Homo-oligomer: A and B are copies of this chain.
Amino acid sequence: MAMAHRIGGIPLATVQRLPIYLKVLREMRRAGRQIVSSAALAHLLRLDPVQVRKDFGRLGQAGRPRIGFAIAALIGAIEARLDWGRVNAAVLLGAGHLGQALLGYQGFALHGLEITAAFDPSPRVAGRRLHGIPIHPLEDLEARLPALGARMAILATSPWAAQETAERLALAGIEGIWNFTGEILTLPPRVLVQDQDIAIGLAVLSSRLCTRVGGAPPLSA
Protein backbone atom coordinates (compact mmCIF):
# COMPACT_ATOMS: atom_id res chain seq x y z
CA MET A 1 0.00 0.00 0.00
CA ALA A 2 2.92 2.31 0.48
CA MET A 3 5.92 2.75 -1.81
CA ALA A 4 7.72 0.87 -4.55
CA HIS A 5 10.60 -0.85 -2.84
CA ARG A 6 12.52 -1.61 -5.94
CA ILE A 7 13.37 0.56 -8.91
CA GLY A 8 14.47 -1.15 -12.08
CA GLY A 9 15.54 -4.19 -10.09
CA ILE A 10 17.53 -2.19 -7.55
CA PRO A 11 16.43 -1.68 -3.93
CA LEU A 12 15.17 1.78 -3.12
CA ALA A 13 17.68 2.10 -0.29
CA THR A 14 20.50 1.57 -2.75
CA VAL A 15 19.15 4.13 -5.22
CA GLN A 16 19.03 6.66 -2.41
CA ARG A 17 22.71 6.18 -1.76
CA LEU A 18 23.75 6.53 -5.40
CA PRO A 19 23.89 10.34 -5.48
CA ILE A 20 26.15 10.38 -2.44
CA TYR A 21 28.48 7.84 -3.97
CA LEU A 22 28.47 9.82 -7.19
CA LYS A 23 29.42 13.05 -5.52
CA VAL A 24 32.41 11.59 -3.73
CA LEU A 25 33.53 9.57 -6.74
CA ARG A 26 33.47 12.64 -8.96
CA GLU A 27 35.59 14.53 -6.45
CA MET A 28 38.08 11.67 -6.46
CA ARG A 29 38.19 11.60 -10.24
CA ARG A 30 38.80 15.33 -10.34
CA ALA A 31 41.69 14.77 -7.94
CA GLY A 32 43.16 12.33 -10.46
CA ARG A 33 42.40 9.17 -8.53
CA GLN A 34 41.41 6.05 -10.48
CA ILE A 35 40.78 3.35 -7.90
CA VAL A 36 38.95 3.25 -4.60
CA SER A 37 38.24 0.51 -2.08
CA SER A 38 34.86 -0.08 -0.51
CA ALA A 39 36.45 0.47 2.87
CA ALA A 40 37.75 3.92 1.96
CA LEU A 41 34.39 5.01 0.58
CA ALA A 42 32.53 3.54 3.51
CA HIS A 43 34.72 5.39 5.97
CA LEU A 44 34.15 8.68 4.17
CA LEU A 45 30.38 8.22 4.05
CA ARG A 46 29.98 6.48 7.39
CA LEU A 47 28.58 3.35 5.82
CA ASP A 48 29.41 -0.32 6.10
CA PRO A 49 32.00 -1.52 3.54
CA VAL A 50 29.89 -4.58 2.78
CA GLN A 51 26.95 -2.40 2.00
CA VAL A 52 29.01 -0.38 -0.44
CA ARG A 53 30.14 -3.57 -2.21
CA LYS A 54 26.61 -4.90 -2.37
CA ASP A 55 25.36 -1.63 -3.81
CA PHE A 56 28.05 -1.65 -6.49
CA GLY A 57 27.39 -5.28 -7.21
CA ARG A 58 23.75 -4.47 -7.88
CA LEU A 59 24.91 -1.93 -10.45
CA GLY A 60 26.84 -4.70 -12.17
CA GLN A 61 30.16 -3.30 -11.02
CA ALA A 62 32.77 -5.79 -9.83
CA GLY A 63 35.84 -4.76 -7.92
CA ARG A 64 39.20 -6.47 -8.08
CA PRO A 65 40.57 -8.12 -4.94
CA ARG A 66 43.53 -6.36 -3.39
CA ILE A 67 42.92 -3.46 -5.81
CA GLY A 68 39.44 -2.00 -5.42
CA PHE A 69 36.86 -0.49 -7.78
CA ALA A 70 37.52 1.55 -10.92
CA ILE A 71 36.20 5.03 -10.21
CA ALA A 72 35.40 5.89 -13.83
CA ALA A 73 33.35 2.73 -14.31
CA LEU A 74 31.41 3.37 -11.11
CA ILE A 75 30.61 6.90 -12.17
CA GLY A 76 29.41 5.68 -15.54
CA ALA A 77 27.20 3.02 -14.01
CA ILE A 78 25.61 5.40 -11.52
CA GLU A 79 25.03 8.09 -14.13
CA ALA A 80 23.42 5.54 -16.42
CA ARG A 81 21.15 4.25 -13.69
CA LEU A 82 20.01 7.73 -12.63
CA ASP A 83 19.97 9.10 -16.16
CA TRP A 84 22.30 11.83 -14.98
CA GLY A 85 24.85 11.42 -17.73
CA ARG A 86 23.04 13.69 -20.16
CA VAL A 87 20.84 16.73 -19.75
CA ASN A 88 17.09 16.40 -19.28
CA ALA A 89 14.72 19.31 -19.58
CA ALA A 90 12.38 20.21 -16.75
CA VAL A 91 9.88 22.98 -16.12
CA LEU A 92 9.37 24.87 -12.91
CA LEU A 93 5.95 25.75 -11.57
CA GLY A 94 5.88 28.67 -9.23
CA ALA A 95 8.55 31.38 -9.15
CA GLY A 96 8.17 32.53 -5.57
CA HIS A 97 10.96 32.37 -3.03
CA LEU A 98 11.42 28.65 -3.29
CA GLY A 99 11.06 28.58 -7.05
CA GLN A 100 13.66 31.29 -7.45
CA ALA A 101 16.02 29.44 -5.14
CA LEU A 102 15.62 26.34 -7.29
CA LEU A 103 16.20 28.41 -10.43
CA GLY A 104 19.47 29.60 -8.96
CA TYR A 105 20.61 26.20 -7.79
CA GLN A 106 23.82 25.37 -9.62
CA GLY A 107 23.78 21.72 -8.67
CA PHE A 108 21.16 20.66 -11.22
CA ALA A 109 23.76 20.70 -13.98
CA LEU A 110 25.60 17.94 -12.09
CA HIS A 111 22.38 15.96 -11.90
CA GLY A 112 21.52 16.05 -15.56
CA LEU A 113 18.71 18.54 -15.10
CA GLU A 114 18.10 21.80 -16.87
CA ILE A 115 15.14 24.02 -16.13
CA THR A 116 14.14 25.37 -19.51
CA ALA A 117 11.18 27.45 -18.47
CA ALA A 118 9.18 28.52 -15.44
CA PHE A 119 5.51 29.40 -15.03
CA ASP A 120 3.90 31.68 -12.48
CA PRO A 121 0.38 33.09 -12.14
CA SER A 122 1.52 36.47 -10.86
CA PRO A 123 1.79 39.24 -13.46
CA ARG A 124 4.59 40.69 -11.34
CA VAL A 125 7.05 37.96 -12.27
CA ALA A 126 5.57 36.48 -15.45
CA GLY A 127 7.26 37.89 -18.51
CA ARG A 128 10.56 38.48 -16.75
CA ARG A 129 13.68 36.38 -16.79
CA LEU A 130 15.37 34.99 -13.69
CA HIS A 131 18.82 33.44 -13.84
CA GLY A 132 18.44 33.50 -17.59
CA ILE A 133 15.29 31.41 -17.56
CA PRO A 134 12.05 32.86 -18.92
CA ILE A 135 9.04 33.04 -16.61
CA HIS A 136 5.79 32.58 -18.48
CA PRO A 137 2.26 33.28 -17.30
CA LEU A 138 0.71 30.14 -15.87
CA GLU A 139 -2.13 30.30 -18.39
CA ASP A 140 0.36 29.59 -21.18
CA LEU A 141 1.30 26.25 -19.63
CA GLU A 142 -0.56 23.92 -21.97
CA ALA A 143 0.39 25.93 -25.04
CA ARG A 144 4.10 26.04 -24.32
CA LEU A 145 4.72 22.68 -22.72
CA PRO A 146 4.86 20.55 -25.88
CA ALA A 147 7.68 22.64 -27.33
CA LEU A 148 9.77 22.45 -24.17
CA GLY A 149 10.43 18.71 -24.28
CA ALA A 150 10.21 18.31 -20.51
CA ARG A 151 9.25 14.97 -19.00
CA MET A 152 9.53 16.30 -15.47
CA ALA A 153 7.99 19.24 -13.63
CA ILE A 154 9.19 20.81 -10.42
CA LEU A 155 6.20 21.90 -8.39
CA ALA A 156 6.97 24.88 -6.16
CA THR A 157 3.66 26.69 -6.12
CA SER A 158 1.79 27.85 -3.07
CA PRO A 159 0.12 24.96 -1.24
CA TRP A 160 -3.37 25.94 -2.29
CA ALA A 161 -2.48 25.94 -5.99
CA ALA A 162 -0.64 22.63 -5.80
CA GLN A 163 -3.37 20.13 -6.62
CA GLU A 164 -4.88 22.18 -9.43
CA THR A 165 -1.52 22.87 -11.05
CA ALA A 166 -0.53 19.23 -10.74
CA GLU A 167 -3.72 18.18 -12.51
CA ARG A 168 -2.95 20.53 -15.37
CA LEU A 169 0.54 19.10 -15.62
CA ALA A 170 -0.81 15.56 -15.63
CA LEU A 171 -3.32 16.42 -18.33
CA ALA A 172 -0.62 18.11 -20.37
CA GLY A 173 1.39 14.89 -20.42
CA ILE A 174 4.08 15.45 -17.79
CA GLU A 175 5.46 12.09 -16.63
CA GLY A 176 6.99 12.96 -13.27
CA ILE A 177 6.33 15.65 -10.68
CA TRP A 178 8.88 16.61 -8.07
CA ASN A 179 6.61 18.01 -5.40
CA PHE A 180 8.06 20.69 -3.11
CA THR A 181 4.71 21.99 -1.87
CA GLY A 182 4.19 19.65 1.07
CA GLU A 183 0.66 18.95 -0.17
CA ILE A 184 -0.56 15.45 -0.89
CA LEU A 185 -1.32 15.19 -4.60
CA THR A 186 -4.00 12.94 -6.02
CA LEU A 187 -3.21 12.08 -9.62
CA PRO A 188 -3.65 9.18 -12.04
CA PRO A 189 -0.99 6.53 -11.36
CA ARG A 190 0.46 7.21 -14.79
CA VAL A 191 2.16 10.27 -13.29
CA LEU A 192 5.06 9.64 -10.92
CA VAL A 193 5.07 11.91 -7.88
CA GLN A 194 8.16 12.37 -5.75
CA ASP A 195 7.46 14.29 -2.57
CA GLN A 196 10.17 16.55 -1.23
CA ASP A 197 8.63 17.55 2.07
CA ILE A 198 11.06 19.38 4.31
CA ALA A 199 8.75 18.84 7.25
CA ILE A 200 9.91 15.22 7.36
CA GLY A 201 13.55 16.13 7.81
CA LEU A 202 12.65 18.66 10.44
CA ALA A 203 10.52 16.10 12.26
CA VAL A 204 13.43 13.68 12.48
CA LEU A 205 15.84 16.32 13.70
CA SER A 206 13.57 17.94 16.23
CA SER A 207 12.39 14.64 17.66
CA ARG A 208 16.00 13.57 18.06
CA LEU A 209 16.86 16.85 19.73
CA CYS A 210 13.80 16.57 21.92
CA THR A 211 14.35 13.00 23.09
CA ARG A 212 18.08 13.35 23.59
CA VAL A 213 18.11 15.19 26.91
CA GLY A 214 14.99 16.64 28.40
CA GLY A 215 13.38 13.95 26.29
CA ALA A 216 9.92 12.56 26.30
CA PRO A 217 9.45 9.15 27.92
CA PRO A 218 9.41 6.15 25.56
CA LEU A 219 5.70 5.60 25.88
CA SER A 220 2.96 7.73 27.39
CA ALA A 221 0.11 10.02 26.56
Query: Footprint of B on A, CB under 8 Å?
Result: 1-2, 4, 7-10, 12, 15-16, 18-20, 23-24, 42, 44-48, 51, 58, 60-61, 73, 76-77, 80-84, 88, 96-98, 100-101, 103-105, 107, 111-113, 151-152, 175-176, 178, 182, 184, 192, 194-212, 215-216, 218-221
In Å, the complex CA distance between A215 and B6 comes to 14
Given A199-B19, A199-B23, the answer on whether A205 and B176 have CB atoms closer than 8 Å is yes
**Minimum distance in angstroms from A189 CB to a CB of chain B:** 11
In Å, the complex CA distance between A104 and B170 comes to 28
Cβ contact of A197, chosen from B19, B151, B192, B202, cutoff 8 A = B19
Cβ contact of A1, chosen from B23, B48, B84, cutoff 8 A = B48
Q: Check B111 against A104 for contact (C-beta < 8 Å).
A: no
Cβ contact of A200, chosen from B16, B48, B198, cutoff 8 A = B16
Q: Check A88 against B206 for contact (C-beta < 8 Å).
A: yes
**Minimum distance in angstroms from A193 CB to a CB of chain B:** 9
Interface-centre pick from A12, A96, A184 (highest chain B CB count, 10 A): A184
Q: Check A2 against B196 for contact (C-beta < 8 Å).
A: no
Residue of B nearest to A182 (CB): B107
**Minimum distance in angstroms from A88 CB to a CB of chain B:** 7
Q: Check A45 against B83 for contact (C-beta < 8 Å).
A: no
**Minimum distance in angstroms from A175 CB to a CB of chain B:** 6
**Which residues of chain B are near A60, meaning CB under 8 Å?**
219-221
**Which residues of chain B are near A219, meaning CB under 8 Å?**
9, 58, 60
Q: Check B152 against A7 for contact (C-beta < 8 Å).
A: no
In the complex, 29 of the A-B residue pairs with CB atoms within 8 angstroms, ordered by the A residue number, are A2-B51, A4-B208, A7-B207, A7-B211, A10-B207, A15-B204, A16-B203, A18-B203, A19-B202, A19-B203, A20-B200, A45-B184, A76-B221, A82-B206, A82-B210, A83-B207, A84-B203, A88-B206, A96-B104, A97-B100, A97-B105, A100-B101, A107-B198, A113-B202, A175-B209, A175-B212, A176-B205, A192-B208, A196-B198
